[in-house]
Amino acid sequence: MKFISVPLSEGALERLDRDECIAGDLYELVLGDEQLDYLFSSGIVDLLNSALGKEIDVYEDDRIVGEQDVATALKLLRKFRETAGSKLLDDIIYGFELAKEKSTGVFFYL
């Protein structure tokens, strides 16, 4: 399985780094093959990688952390949704909104 995870507190962020999360630590999206295909074929991943200098792909885990990068990603995703909305995209945007609110980040385990 593939995941997009958002720690819901500073403590959860620290536990995620140590792979010691407890119940309630994360907002998680579990991605199946169809959802993963959508992420890559829609251009969402390329958009984030290009704008933020990331390497999100199926071979590398990556993260978007820091107030500025989370805000930039959120702005890009909202703009992308104007032309190519989907339930998955709405869920990802919600995750970025949580990351911004909680001052954590979004972690891609694809």
Six token digits for residue 18: 């140590």
Are the C-beta atoms of residues 104 and 7 closer than 8 Å to each other?
A: yes
pLDDT at 60: 85
- Report the alpha-carbon angle 71-73-74, nearest 5: 65
- Examine the pLDDT at 85 and tell me if it is beyond 90: no
Mean pLDDT of 77-86: 91
What is the model's pLDDT at position 75? 97
Q: Encode 59-103 in three state secondary structure.
A: CCCEEEECHHHHHHHHHHHHHHHHHHCCHHHHHHHHHHHHHHHHC
Average of per-residue pLDDT values in the chain: 96
Query: Which amino acid would we find at residue 47?
Result: L
**In this predicted structure, what is the pLDDT of residue 78?**
97
pTM of the model: 0.95
The per-residue pLDDT for range 13-66, each reduced to its tens digit, is 999 999 999 999 999 999 999 999 999 999 999 999 999 999 999 998 999 999
Torsions phi, psi for 48 (to 5 deg): -65, -45
Residue 23 has what pLDDT?
Answer: 97
Domain boundaries in the chain? 69-110
> Both tokens of residue 78?
């909202």
